[in-house]
Amino acid sequence: MNQAAKQLKQAAQSLKGGQPGRGFTQAREGGYGLNTVASKLEKLVEGNQNLTDTSAEDYPKDYESVIKDYLKRLSHQE
Model pLDDT for residues 50-76, shown as the tens digit of each residue = 777 777 777 778 888 888 888 888 887
Q: Count CA atoms closer than 13 A to 71's CA, side-chain side.
A: 6
pTM to 2 decimals? 0.53
- Look at the chain and count its residues: 78
pLDDT for the residue 41:
87
Model pLDDT for residues 6-48, shown as the tens digit of each residue = 999 999 999 999 999 999 999 999 999 999 999 988 888 887 7
Model pLDDT for residues 15-24, shown as the tens digit of each residue = 999 999 999 9
Helix (H, G, I), strand (E, B) or coil at 19: coil
pLDDT for the residue 77:
67
Is-contact 52 26, C-beta < 8 A? no
Cα separations (Å) of 12 from 9, 32, 33, 40, 51?
5, 16, 16, 25, 36
pLDDT for the residue 54:
75
